[in-house]
Structure 1
Amino acid sequence: MGPAETKVRTRRRAVPWLVLGLWVVLLAVVTPFAAKLSEVQNDRAVDYLPASADSTRVAKIQDRLPGGETTELVLVYHRDGGLTAADRAAAERQVAEIGERDRLAAEPEGVPSQDGTTLMYPVASNGPGTDEKLRDAFVERVRAVAHSEGGLTVEVGGPGALATDAGKVYESLGGPLLYTTVAVVAVLLIIIYRSPVLWLVPLVVAGIADFMSMGVAYGLNQAFGTTVSGQSSGVMTILVFGAGTDYALLLVSRYREELRRVERPYEAMRVALRGCGPAVLASSGTVAAGLLCLLAADLNSSRGMGPLGTVGVLCALLAMLTLLPALLVLLGRRVFWPLVPAYGSEPRRRRSLFSAMGSSAGRRPLTVLAGGAVLLGALALGTLNLPGSLKQEDSFVDTPESVAAMETLGTAFPGLGTQPVSVITPTGRADATLAEIEAHDGVATAARGRTGGGWTEISVIARSAPQSAAETATIESLREALPEAYVGGPSAEQIDLLDTNARDRLVVVPIVLVSVLLILVALLRSLVAPLLLVVAVVAVWAASLGIGGLLFGPVFGFEGTDPGLGLLSFVFLVALGVDYGIFLMHRMREESLAGAEPAVAALTALRTTGGVIASAGLVLGATFAVLLNMGLVQLVQLGFVIAVGVLLDTFLVRTYLVTSASVALRRKVWWPGRLSREPARPVRPPEAPDRERVAVR
């Protein structure tokens, strides 16, 4: 070995250590910011509301009124056989004690039910303001005082209590969600790799990428005011581990393959990165572009999820294409123990599952394609069975105290509004506005509230139950009758959520489809193949929602569907589904460029990437399935639809339908690119069945 070669080898040995050192420096820089992400996470209703809606304007003006934002509670005293004099005295005593402990916005007055079983005390305080911790502390203090005794049931409900109970669920999106995700990914990697060591490397790298994404997300919040909610930060973590592990599976699979051909790990890794790097870059870029389309949404929660999801995917990409290769090279072949890929060895040859699936698709492509299309279409019909819009009190998987209080009120005060509608009007028109509201048919009571900054707050109680069709009609008619005023409150917020989600679907969905299609056209240099992939992922989305429609009500017992489910599940399934399509089509194009006949190229691509795609799909589906264990219905529904969609895409669409369509279309799948034209030289003949290369495990 000459001096020049020795110098080159020394330099190459130093590269992994240099990469490792750069990551240490990067983490040192990011650490102070990552620890602060939880400080800027907000889960108030205004943080999820549409930016331009009346309810958002009401919430922001309320923040500026004297005393700041009002925390509104309802104390519900109930006895089945009817309240006694002692019960009423206990209620008055507890309410007085609450007033002594906390500064209340007004003196609470009890409202008895007609049947005498229930007494309702509205309680409001400006003390907590917009501070969620102070709000939660206030609610807990009230609950500590307003306790059941001697057969008298006491429950604390109202918007403030609902927000506190929801906050407890969002707290589980921190540590518990992370631990559960790590555990699920670890188990799957151990099964996939069958190694006591190898599984730990991508898992540690994914954890580092997640930590880095937290720091970057905090930076986006500080620099651009990006909304950070419990939902968006939780989904970001899932994307880091899910997408990051997928990229690791593809890289490790190709690296193991190259270790059998290349003697030195460093050189094998270079070849592996050249082979799978473009596909990983393209797929991650497509996912990021799809998620960034959420910036066009008007809903704060959706618009904030786009950048955070993109941060998660890109941090995972950076870690898996730099830190993971460096660690694998430094650990050498022994990291694969006990299934060490020796230099010059051949993988064990056996007929794989995906070889058999490819054979069936190759023999009868049109039959397989038609059967799959009919199945997806039938499943999509389940969307007709999706329950209606999810009400606020139905958004919890388990019934918290705040929801139980609202249910008691609904029974005791049938047809009466039990949560206020807030009207913000210019102070100069306050008297006229109050008179118009009191004359409205759907209004039971109305009273002036705070005044400041040129605005006056009027608290309105409707004659109908919260979030009922009648109350919705009352709110909408008030908005029409009071053009100079803003109408908000919990029920108005739900109306705005529905309207804005409908608007966002009309705007964001076409942007996502066009963006993804243009990227695929540029990557695959074809029009037909991108259209095929996009149609496939849209069909998967519809079928997944249909399965949800068949199960949400009858099996899960959900009373409604989250208004944002359609849009968010569409963006994620289109972006992530195309991700896997790129893995398959990239290998198919590689085989075609090498001279393989189109049908052979399609089947070879399935055989060589099917195992990796299946493993990646299982990991990604399992990470989103972690959301099924969360306590909010909207998170369970989102996790279910995406997990089912990923599995459908992995084991039906990607393996059977896309492959069958590619076999049936032959060279037309690459139209109008040069691969769509017949070559002048002979094509590579298909390999004999007993010589087929199996998917690298």
Structure 2
Amino acid sequence: MPKEAEDRPASPHAPARWLRIVVPTVLVLIWLVVAGIGGPTFGKLSGVSSNDQAAFLPASAESTEVQDWQKRFTDSGSIPAIVVVQADDSIPKSELGTTYADLGTKLGHVDGVQAPPEGASTSVAGPIPSEDGRAVEYIVPVANTDEVKTVVADLRAVADENVPDGARAWVTGPAGLTADLVNAFGGIDGILLLVAVAAVFVILLLVYRALLLPFLVLFTSIFALCAAILFVYLFALWGWIKLSGQSQGILSILVIGAATDYSLLLVARYREALEVEQSRWVAILRAWKASLEPIVASGATVILALLCLLFSDLNSNKSLGPIAAIGIVFSLLSALTLLPALLAIFGRASFWPFRPVVGGRHHKPVEGAALSGLEGIRGLWLRVGRLIARRPRVTWIVSFVLLAACALGLTQLKANGVQQTDVILSQSDAVDGQAIVAKHFDAGSGSPVLIVAPESKADDVLAATQKTDGVASAAFYTGGGRPQEGAPAEPVVKDGHVLIQATLASEPDSSAAERVVKDLRGSLSDDGSVLVGGVTAIALDTNETAQSDLAKIIPIVLAVILVILMLLLRSIVAPVLLIGSVVLSYAAALGVSALVFNHVFGFPGADAAVPLFGFVFLVALGVDYNIFLMTRVREESLRLGTRPGILRGLGVTGSVITSAGVVLAATFAALAVIPILFLVQIAFIVAFGVLLDTVVVRSLLVPAVSYDIGRAIWWPSKLWQDKMHSRRAEISS
């Protein structure tokens, strides 16, 4: 029998026969029922999902207050669509009152368009001719905001069917961009999941070289996702959480990746147990007990890190926290209940055609006391262990310098938000239409800045607004649907306030437009009685809130993870080392990503929430792998001493943790199939960061620093104080 088997404590007896039959059967049946109920809810998520940026702002934001005021003035929650028609030649004025007027009437009859006010024939403003005479535009208020995608599709169909010969129409504006954004998210339910599962399946085949085991692991991940989707759907339906397309996509990827990672750790311990235990039931119990602490600690770390997003002032961040945490909870449950049941049922057949046998691992002695702990380790991890044992300081210094050099790219990160027209990476009718609007009209037409002012200050505020650089025109809201410049000022008054609509010269989602909003907020009121909102202000408030969230949430996440690691490892030094390593890894990943985004992909910038999301996922998931490593190192250190335990822990976990990192990187990379800038950037940051963390931080930096420090990494625990382990460490060094 191998030496390792002799060193291990006696195995427990196999459970009673009825337990071996009942427990796995009940567990599998429970998960089948949950999956059967949760699976069909995939197609229902879009019904409880919202991609409206304004819905995720805090109630205290100035633009949110203006939005509430706007509903009082208009008695409608409609959002504008801009239909722009460009002709090859100048448009005859005679056609404006006939052909183009008829088109406006037909646009107003589309289901979902706001009904006309009393005494008016249509709610559509237009046709509005351009100064160059080659284009007209219509402002169409879309009232059915729950079905923006359908309403915009109908508007496009009507415009295409009725546009005159020699002209072409586009539907853009906030409604058009929202519809195209919803279309871009359309692949989340199918394509994203298919790509992620296919990538994981291929990797599992390569890792296990088995036919059945990849299916068992995938079933574990998919069933976890079905359960998570069911609860997320119900919570969103009841109004407890706000679900968006990006949260839905991240949930799917996170569950598949995390459940697979936890499964890989359990399967690795199960295979080890099968090589020293004849009974598969005893082996699965042994593997489950050995895996329980690191898997639960890992999952708890990610869950608590995600729940730290509840401290965010941005509701999109705040909602992602519990949504993703639900996913991790079911990833944990499936990996610790469903997978053990499946492995117990199929036993060694799970690994066919390379079934593990008792005594299957033959330990090959390695000469040299400095390499104690590497017995039986072969291949890459033997070479890595030798490198760390012989040159630990050189190894960690070189690794540190490499990561620090990568982190220098942070100086080029442009995470101040991007124009909404840059968010969609695929072809977009709304994006193309916005360019046509900017070519022929004031670029901000159809998406005015909204200013709410006390009636006593109305004339002064209007005059100051009209004089502000970047404002093309401004007028009181008179109830006619659009500003009536030059007409007698008879503003609608609500609760002692008036509404001013200011059309900007620049595109409403541009940085130039945001500067105008800042100027207006700074000049119009010293006492806060004048509020500035609208589409541009919403984008500005979203970016500023996201940036403040980054500074607030990062320390909270680090503190929570540090406490968990201290409790898990019974140490202070090791947790501080691990936290420092993942922060450095995050900075390096973000630095390289900034260089790639700017100079390879040519992205115009990044959403302000990208650094925060990247931090939460990379730090929480990066600590996962260090937990897998250091819990095993601590286990081996109790038997062998610290330095041999480090080499032993690295050697036996090397392949499984690397496989887990590759799986997680592949699943997050699948987000890139959704043509949304934010998701593509998160996909690259997390995928690259996980690989960097797995290959450099967990394989070289952390083991080398730990080996160099020696038993002091366990300070002030009993393991640090144990003289027997101390002598072993001194001998091995």
- Compute the TM-score of the two structures, normalised by the length of structure 1: 0.91
**Partner of residue 14 from structure 1, selected from 13, 19, 22:** 22
Segment of structure 1 superposing worse, 301-310 or 150-159: 150-159
| Closer/same/farther in 2, CA of residues 142 and 427 from structure 1, 3 Å limit | farther
Question: Displacement of 1:84 after TM fit?
Answer: 5.5
Q: Is the 8 A contact 2:81 2:142 kept in 1?
A: no
Partner Cα separation in structure 1 for residue 710 and residue 529 of structure 2: 63
Segment of structure 1 superposing worse, 569-578 or 77-86: 77-86
Q: Which runs of 5+ in 1 are unaligned?
A: 689-697
Q: Is the 8 A contact 2:437 2:443 kept in 1?
A: no
Give CA deviations for 1:606-644 in whole Å, capped at 9, x if unaligned: 110010000000000000001111111011001110111
Question: Displacement of 1:414 after TM fit?
Answer: 6.8
1:95 aligns with 2:111: no
Q: Is the 8 A contact 2:104 2:138 kept in 1?
A: no
SS across alignment from 2:137 = strand
Amino acid paired to 1:175: G
Question: Displacement of 1:61 after TM fit?
Answer: 4.5
2:539 maps to 494
Q: Is the 8 A contact 1:68 1:126 kept in 2?
A: no
Q: Is the 8 A contact 1:394 1:560 kept in 2?
A: no
| Closer/same/farther in 2, CA of residues 97 and 260 from structure 1, 3 Å limit | same
Segment of structure 1 superposing worse, 292-301 or 394-403: 394-403
Partner Cα separation in structure 2 for residue 344 and residue 465 of structure 1: 71
Give CA deviations for 1:117-142 in whole Å, capped at 9, x if unaligned: 4x2424132531x32x1x22221222
Give CA deviations for 1:315-356 in whole Å, capped at 9, x if unaligned: 010011001101111112112110111234336967221221
SS across alignment from 1:552 = helix
Q: Is the 8 A contact 1:104 1:126 kept in 2?
A: no
1:546 maps to 591
Q: Is the 8 A contact 2:107 2:124 kept in 1?
A: no
1:52 aligns with 2:52: no
1:109 maps to 126
1:288 aligns with 2:303: yes
1:265 maps to 280
Segment of structure 1 superposing worse, 302-311 or 463-472: 463-472
Amino acid paired to 2:53: A
2:169 maps to 154
Segment of structure 1 superposing worse, 353-362 or 453-462: 453-462
Describe how 1:142-541 pairs up with structure 2 within 5 A: 142-147=155-160, 150-222=165-237, 225-346=240-361, 351-387=378-414, 389-413=417-441, 419-425=447-453, 434=462, 437-438=465-466, 440-443=468-471, 444-448=473-477, 454=495, 457-480=499-522, 481-482=524-525, 483-541=528-586
Question: Displacement of 1:70 after TM fit?
Answer: 1.8
SS across alignment from 1:423 = strand
Segment of structure 1 superposing worse, 212-221 or 327-336: 212-221
Amino acid paired to 2:257: G
Partner Cα separation in structure 1 for residue 89 and residue 433 of structure 2: 18
| Closer/same/farther in 2, CA of residues 593 and 419 from structure 1, 3 Å limit | same
Segment of structure 1 superposing worse, 342-351 or 481-490: 342-351
Partner Cα separation in structure 2 for residue 248 and residue 56 of structure 1: 44
Q: Is the 8 A contact 2:452 2:500 kept in 1?
A: yes
| Closer/same/farther in 2, CA of residues 39 and 542 from structure 1, 3 Å limit | same
Segment of structure 1 superposing worse, 50-59 or 256-265: 50-59
Question: Displacement of 1:652 after TM fit?
Answer: 0.8
Q: Is the 8 A contact 2:80 2:173 kept in 1?
A: yes
Question: Displacement of 1:79 after TM fit?
Answer: 4.1
Alignment: residue pair count? 679
SS across alignment from 1:503 = helix
Question: Displacement of 1:56 after TM fit?
Answer: 2.4
**Partner of residue 640 from structure 1, selected from 681, 684, 701:** 684
1:577 aligns with 2:622: yes
Partner Cα separation in structure 2 for residue 154 and residue 681 of structure 1: 78
Question: Displacement of 1:75 after TM fit?
Answer: 2.1
Partner Cα separation in structure 2 for residue 109 and residue 681 of structure 1: 84
SS across alignment from 1:519 = helix
**Partner of residue 139 from structure 1, selected from 152, 159, 167:** 152
Amino acid paired to 1:380: A
Amino acid paired to 1:556: F
2:671 maps to 627
2:488 maps to none
Partner Cα separation in structure 2 for residue 63 and residue 416 of structure 1: 21
Give CA deviations for 1:213-257 in whole Å, capped at 9, x if unaligned: 012213433566211111112111111100000001110111011
| Closer/same/farther in 2, CA of residues 460 and 551 from structure 1, 3 Å limit | same
1:125 aligns with 2:121: no
**RMSD, matched Cα:** 2.8
SS across alignment from 1:520 = helix
Segment of structure 1 superposing worse, 210-219 or 619-628: 210-219
1:668 aligns with 2:681: no
Partner Cα separation in structure 2 for residue 471 and residue 350 of structure 1: 62
Q: Is the 8 A contact 1:72 1:122 kept in 2?
A: no
SS across alignment from 2:476 = strand
Question: Displacement of 1:65 after TM fit?
Answer: 5.4
Q: Is the 8 A contact 2:641 2:726 kept in 1?
A: no
Partner Cα separation in structure 2 for residue 404 and residue 360 of structure 1: 56
Give CA deviations for 1:197-227 in whole Å, capped at 9, x if unaligned: 1110111121111010012213433566211
Partner Cα separation in structure 2 for residue 375 and residue 193 of structure 1: 32
2:47 maps to 39
Partner Cα separation in structure 2 for residue 487 and residue 599 of structure 1: 63
Q: Is the 8 A contact 1:434 1:448 kept in 2?
A: no
Question: Displacement of 1:183 after TM fit?
Answer: 1.3
Q: Is the 8 A contact 1:430 1:456 kept in 2?
A: yes
Segment of structure 1 superposing worse, 135-144 or 287-296: 135-144
